Amino acid sequence: MANTILITGASAGIGKATVKLFQQKGWNVVATMRKPDEEQELTQLDNVLVTRLDVTDEASIKSAVNETVARFGGIDVLVNNAGYGAIGPMEAFAIENVRRQFDTNVIGLIATTQAVLPHMRAAKSGTIVNISSIGGKVTFPLMSLYHGTKFAVEGLTESLKFELDAIGVKTKIVEPGAIKTDFYSRSMDISNDESMQEYQPTVQAMTNAMQGQNNHGSAPEVVAEVIWNAATDGTPALRYPVGAGAAHFIDNRKMADDETHMNGVKEQMGL
């Protein structure tokens, strides 16, 4: 019997590439997204179930998990990939946008994991793969909300590993660097109030730095391959950096004190 993987945020980018890879490897794949009616490519693939799952809607999470178990008999791997980035001065964000950022990237990840774990606990096996970012280890200007969520994913996943090791479930964190996806166009919530003049030099510097970012990134298929390794290598390894400069950024941050790191970022951004 083929293994089964459930992937959130599968409509594009890393999620979609991961669906295709696992399907090619002979797995049953559940590709979840907020608007499955708009998906045309993945619905044509054998052993791929495209269904609705909005990580901010608990009923949709439970429905997708139940549909998966009914269709394929269980869930061997969960990939928590759904997410987006809130970018801009923190002061400029309405509190409802702050909540949306954490509800999607953190609370939604927890809720989906909670829905899947009873099945893995009963089977005494399975793997949870949480998609973090180098932004869970390294910070940049105007990304305090996004970094807050990814630092949270790093901490909760590391702690969760203690719990899940005891029940036979593996826990993994994949940390992409710059990736060539449409994240910057479709998965960002940008907030800026130009009347807050003090922030504008930083906003302009960050805007300049982000332009053309995708041109220097790795393809999402590269991340999909690392997700495959994390899900199937059978090792106790926890973290998997991937993509252009990811390991370099993380290693440099480990070695640098706070002042050195922040001065380096400022110099890089022209601040």
Catalytic residue among 11, 132, 133, 218: 132
Enclosing H/E stretch for 109: helix 108-123
Active-site residue among 11, 137, 146, 199?
146
Residue 191 appears among annotated catalytic residues: no
150 tagged catalytic: yes
Q: Do residues 78 and 100 lie in contact, with contact meaning Cβ atoms separated by under 8 Å? A: no
Contact call for residues 30 and 60 (beta carbons, < 8 A) = no
Structure tokens at 13: 């980018």
What contacts 1, CB < 8 A, 6 or more positions away?
73
The residue annotated as part of the active site, out of 16, 20, 137, 150, is 150
Cβ contacts of residue 266 below 8 Å, gap of 6+? Answer: none
DSSP letter at 3 equals: -
Distance of alpha carbon 223 from alpha carbon 175, whole angstroms: 9
* 220: Cβ contacts below 8 Å, ≥ 6 apart: 13, 14, 16, 17, 179, 180, 181
Active site (catalytic) residues: 132, 146, 150
